[in-house]
Chains A and B, each alone.
Chain A
Amino acid sequence: MDSKFERKKGRVSAELIATLILRGATYLVILSFLLIMGRIVVRGAPVLAKEGISFLTERPKILFGFYDENEKYHRLSSQEFREYQKENPNGIILSKQSANYSGGGIKSPLIGTLFLVLICIVLAMSTGIAAAVYLSEYSKRGPFIKVVRLAIINLAGVPSIVFGLFGLAFFCYFFPVITKSAPAERSAKAWEIPTWMYPSNFADEGYRIDMADTPPDSGSRKIIVHKADDGLEFSVFNARGAIVKRVKQYEIDATKPTWVDIENDLATIKSMRDSQSPEVFYQSSRTVEEEALISKLRPLLKLKRRLWLSFQGWEPSMIAAGCTLACMVLPIVITACEESLRAVPQGFRDAALSLGATQWQTVRKSVLPYALPGMLTASVLGILRVAGETAPIMYTGAFATGNLPWVGLREEGVWKVGEFFQRGCEAMPYHIYILSAKIPQSDLVRPMQDGAVLVFMLIVMALATTSVILRMRIRKKLKW
């Protein structure tokens, strides 16, 4: 070929190399995705198939692995193991191994993650929407707003572990809280709240009378009465099972009621208690007799209801973890909300203002209603992504526990909602971290790791996909 348009040799190869490199990089993305997903699916799917739905509905349990006398290998969760022992009282158990959290399922981390995300959504949305409305509808351009915007941008770039440590320092150990028990030692500053400020329905602490000599379980307030050499002794325990007060009979000037009264009352309660099985008794709420005795004892033992405002934080708890996550997603939420507000045509605002609407009426009647759907979806889906974060929660509220967060909260027939949020919980990413890094590794743990990772991946991917689809739909709809 002898054309002036003939391809030069050298150029072709340069072109080829460039194409290959660029294409290779693109394929690498797919390859790594396939490798990660493939490995997780190949290893996790059989576990899910074998365990079935119980993998999602059972709490994590201890798993035992052992050989029986026929050299058959058994993998049994703690409960199954007990049953096995009952059925085979004479069975031989060889080279028994056990691993924490490796039996049962992943119910409690799933539920914990759900609650963390819910708390985070409520907090981040309320703050984020308010801030976005202010920034987009009220604020006038100026140096202060520039600083605010800079802060939002920078907040989005803060590494998650920094949020975790911040949450630990601020929400767990510094945030002002109202507490019923005396301020903790770490409290930076505490004031006792004067009685007149207490809510009228402020509930009684709910002490229960007990005659056992053993200290009460944590989570119940008790007055334990026992016979000492010099008469009765009263020990008052707080919810954490610590003695807050110990009073000897002779220390109290008790003309009314007389000690005979109290001893009679105690005898009544004791006989009632004896007539019931302990389980039944503790499930029932305080009896009338107990109520009466406690109200007699209250002035004697000075069981005053007190509240403090204390800068001591919530300790690692769901609320602290939720707040930390909320701080972390706040920039995402504010940005998403502002975007939705911007999508509302300026004409709506102009029209409302020109008709004599105040700024607030304009926002409430002709901006927010049209921005809200977009705000909600965009920010909820932005928030859902933090379901996968480990660092912010590992110090602030995630616990390695198989327990569900509400266990033991029904005290004396009443759900203690406030205390619920002050408890830690297990969460999916933290559970996986524990399974793979914090407990001794063995073949017993592996199936649980694989299954948990697969479920987690599926959830996160489903959320991400929904977020993309919904956002596209909303963008289409947002044309006026």
Chain B
Amino acid sequence: MPVVNENRSSSEMTSARDKNNSEDEKLANEAVIEVENLSFSYDLGKTNTLRDINLNIPKNKVTAFIGPSGCGKSTLLRCFNRMNDTIATAKITAGSIKIMGSDVSNPRVDPILLRKEIGMVFQKSNPFPKSVYENVAFGLRIGGERNKTAIDEIVEESLKRAALWDEVKDRLKESALSLSGGQQQRLCIARTIAVQPSVILMDEPCSALDPVATTVVEELITTLREDYTVVVVTHNMQQATRVSDSTAFFYLGELIEYDLTSKLFTNPAKKQTEDYISGRFG
């Protein structure tokens, strides 16, 4: 099972990690995303928003990032698909991120290719003001797909995969904005799936949804793990326990604890984690 580089802030700890046991070895092979000693800054290194993060995200599992606002969990998520590139002063100041074995913090990496492999779903559902069909087809069209039957097929498949097909199959030509909030968010998930990524990053996907819509999306997330590696950022600790296999707790830009969800929430190793999950702060 996936475990776990705990937060190692000293070089001594890093060297300790080098003497990895056989179980760690196995983990490394399974990991889709490997983060090593990552530090990240929004202001060209003056202050580090993320400090010395180490973690491996296992394949075909749901990993939850929890922590109070401003702890850097969304920032880390946006490092994975280089969405931070849109900010001129954002910079990885130390360490590396390997995705499926290749370093993505390298400036020679093409973020366009990377983002086709790593889809993202945002906090606020953001369908384009186009038809349902065109929303799902968007990624294919910009990828240069012209074949109408191929697009039709992928659109249907993606909508089915996002558990939305039955609700929208008769209104594919209607505006996506006419859908309900939960449907819009699932549409965004379908849109992401249509590009056929291997990892889906979700940045608080349910925070703008009502409880019923949240349940539907959460159920969807748990089924997505069969085909995708999912990383979910969430404020909602119950949600983390419901959907995730492992959970990382961030606090003030550092990874405090990363463990199996069942272990982290029942028997946290760190005092700060315990305080946070028991609601003493955050």
Contacts and interface: CB of A to CB of B under 8 A. Distances in A.
A281 B113 CA distance: 69
A255 interface: no
A356 B143 contact: yes
Interface string A344-371: 0101111111111110010001100010
Contact of A355 (B86, B124, B142): B142
A351 B128 contact: yes
B122 A355 contact: no
Contacts of B139: 355-357
Sort A-B residue pairs by CB-CB distance and give the 10 closest, nearest first. A347-B126, A140-B88, A356-B116, A354-B120, A355-B139, A356-B115, A357-B142, A351-B126, A361-B142, A356-B112
A351 B191 contact: yes
Contacts of B83: 350, 353-354
A355 B196 CA distance: 10
A142 B126 contact: no
Interface in B101-160: 112-113, 115-116, 119-120, 122, 124, 126-129, 138-139, 141-143
Nearest to A365: B142
A354 B81 contact: yes
B93 interface: no
Given A356-B142, A356-B143, A356-B195, A348 B126 contact: yes
Interface string B85-96: 010110000000
A480 interface: yes
Interface string B201-224: 000000000000000000000000
B177 interface: yes
A438 interface: no
Given A354-B192, A365-B142, A480-B177, A345 B112 contact: no
A350 B86 CA distance: 9
Given A348-B126, A350-B120, A354-B122, 16 more contacts: A349-B86, A351-B122, A351-B128, A351-B138, A352-B142, A353-B83, A353-B86, A353-B115, A355-B116, A355-B119, A355-B138, A355-B191, A355-B192, A356-B143, A356-B195, A361-B142
Contacts of A141: 88-89
Contacts of A348: 126, 128
B55 interface: no
Nearest to A349: B86
A370 B127 CA distance: 13
Interface of A: 140-142, 345, 347-358, 361, 365-366, 370, 480
A142 B115 contact: no
Most A CB within 10 A of own CB, among B89, B119, B138: B138
Contacts of A353: 83, 86, 115
Contacts of A354: 81, 83, 115, 119-120, 122, 192
A345 B142 contact: no
Most B CB within 10 A of own CB, among A141, A345, A353, A356: A356
Nearest to B81: A354
Contacts of B191: 351, 355
Nearest to A357: B142
Nearest to B117: A356
Interface of B: 81, 83, 86, 88-89, 112-113, 115-116, 119-120, 122, 124, 126-129, 138-139, 141-143, 177, 188, 191-192, 195
20 contacts: A141-B88, A348-B126, A350-B83, A350-B120, A350-B126, A351-B127, A351-B188, A353-B86, A354-B120, A354-B122, A355-B119, A355-B142, A356-B112, A356-B115, A356-B116, A356-B139, A356-B195, A357-B142, A361-B142, A480-B177
A145 to B, nearest CB: 10
A136 B89 CA distance: 16
A345 B88 contact: no
A355 B126 contact: no
Contacts of A142: 88
Given A351-B188, A480-B177, A358 B126 contact: no
A345 B120 CA distance: 17
Nearest to B194: A355
B122 A350 contact: yes
A422 B63 CA distance: 68
A354 B189 CA distance: 12
B126 A365 contact: no
Nearest to A351: B126
B88 A355 contact: no
Contacts of B129: 370, 480
A347 B195 contact: no
Contacts of A345: 126
A480 to B, nearest CB: 6
A480 B129 CA distance: 8
A274 to B, nearest CB: 67
B14 to A, nearest CB: 32
Contacts of A357: 112, 139, 142
B122 A347 contact: yes
B227 to A, nearest CB: 18
Given A345-B126, A347-B124, A352 B138 contact: yes
A141 to B, nearest CB: 6
A357 B264 CA distance: 38
A365 B115 contact: no
Contacts of B142: 352, 355-358, 361, 365
A344 to B, nearest CB: 10
A349 B120 CA distance: 12
A14 B11 CA distance: 76
Contacts of A480: 129, 177
Contact of B113 (A347, A349, A351, A356): A356
Contacts of B188: 351
Nearest to B120: A354
Contacts of B138: 351-352, 355, 365-366
A347 to B, nearest CB: 3
Most A CB within 10 A of own CB, among B86, B177, B195: B86
Given A351-B122, A355-B142, A366 B128 contact: yes
A345 B86 CA distance: 15
A348 B86 CA distance: 14
A350 B141 CA distance: 17
A94 to B, nearest CB: 74
A354 B191 CA distance: 10
A206 to B, nearest CB: 48
B156 to A, nearest CB: 18
Contacts of B81: 354
